Amino acid sequence: MFIEDHKTEISEKGFEFVTSNYQKNWNGLKELIET
C-alpha cells in the first residue's frame, strides 16, 4: 500500500515537472513565432 502511494506521489511530481517545462517551451515557441 505504501509503495503504491509513493508511486502516485512521484508520478504527480513528474507530471507537474513535465507540464511546467512544456509551458516554458510553449512560451518560447510563441516568442519565436511572433518575432
Q: Which tens digits make up the pLDDT trace of 2-19?
A: 556 767 777 788 888 888
Distance between CA atoms of residues 7 and 15, nearest Å? 12
Give the model's pLDDT for residue 3.
58
Q: Name which residue leads in pLDDT, 26 or 7.
A: 26
Distance between CA atoms of residues 20 and 17, nearest Å? 5
Give the model's pLDDT for residue 33.
84
Give the model's pLDDT for residue 26.
87
Give the model's pLDDT for residue 6.
64
Instruction: State the DSSP code for 1.
Output: -
